[in-house]
Amino acid sequence: MSIADIQDVPSPEAFRQAMANLGAGVAIITSDGPAGLAGCTVSAVTSVSDQPPTLLVCLNRTSRNNRVMRENGSLCVNLLGHRNQPLAARFADGSLTVERRFEEGSWNYPADGSPALDNALASLQCAVTDMSEVGSHTVFFLTVHSIGFGEPGEGLAYFQRRFHGLPLANAS
């Protein structure tokens, strides 16, 4: 790319293409409660603070999942490993109903939380504490109230519109 290729006001397509060059971790966010069951794959999860433990998750406002998670007021952020790649693809498939998405994987349904994937690298049960509407998305601010850890394993990243395994670091 040369300086001549830089756009003053990028199109949504150009922005998405640029962001495809930023690798991101992959999570399945789930919610269950009065508004029903929801779950989808996201790569927009970020740690905000460790005191109190706070995350942010971005989700398209037109998504059915957005409405359900907003109304339920709680969700679980399941951090995925390479072993979970097929499930990540399943929860990203917009043609599947939420019930069909949950037919695969082994899920724990805690009484005070949202579905947690048994073999996720970690599952963080969260309460929605704030939201902000930005463009096409809602930014959910989440306070983490409990964490479960699965077996260690390779990480999973999304880069150049594809999933990639991340090897475990060698202990030194």
55-67 pLDDT, tens per residue?
A: 999 999 999 999 9
List pLDDT tens digits, range 81-90.
Answer: 999 999 999 9
Domain membership flag for residue 53? yes
The answer on pLDDT for 151 being more than 80 is yes
pLDDT for residue 113: 84
How far is C-alpha 170 from the geometric centre of its chain's CA atoms? Answer: 26
**Would the CA dihedral through 17, 66, 99, 30 be positive or negative?**
positive
Total domains in the fold of the chain: 1
The CATH number linked to 92 is 2.30.110.10
Domain membership flag for residue 165? no
pLDDT for residue 58: 97
Domain membership flag for residue 108? yes
The answer on pLDDT for 3 being more than 60 is no
List pLDDT tens digits, range 105-123.
Answer: 999 998 878 999 999 999 9
| Cα gap 56→49, rounded to integer Å | 10
- Exposure string of 125-158, with b = 16+ CB inside 10 Å and e = fewer, is bbebeebeeeeebbbbbbbbeeebebeebebbbb
Domain membership flag for residue 136? yes
Q: Which amino acid is at 143?
A: T
The answer on pLDDT for 146 being more than 80 is yes
Domain membership flag for residue 55? yes
In the beta sheet, which residues pair with residue 146? 125
| Cα gap 166→168, rounded to integer Å | 7
Query: Do the beta carbons of residue 37 and residue 31 sit within 8 Å?
Result: yes
Domain membership flag for residue 106? yes
Take residue 22 and report the two structure tokens written for it: 């930023």
User: What is the pLDDT of the chain when averaged over all its residues?
Assistant: 93
Domain membership flag for residue 14? no
The answer on pLDDT for 101 being more than 90 is yes
The pLDDT-based confidence of 10 (bands split at 50, 70, 90) is: confident
Task: Give the predicted TM-score (pTM) of the model.
Answer: 0.91
Tell me the percentage of the chain whose pLDDT exceeds 90. Answer: 83
In the beta sheet, which residues pair with residue 75? 126
63 lies in which domain range?
25-159
Domain membership flag for residue 36? yes
| Cα gap 98→118, rounded to integer Å | 18
Nearest Cα neighbor of 105 from 72, 83, 77 is 83
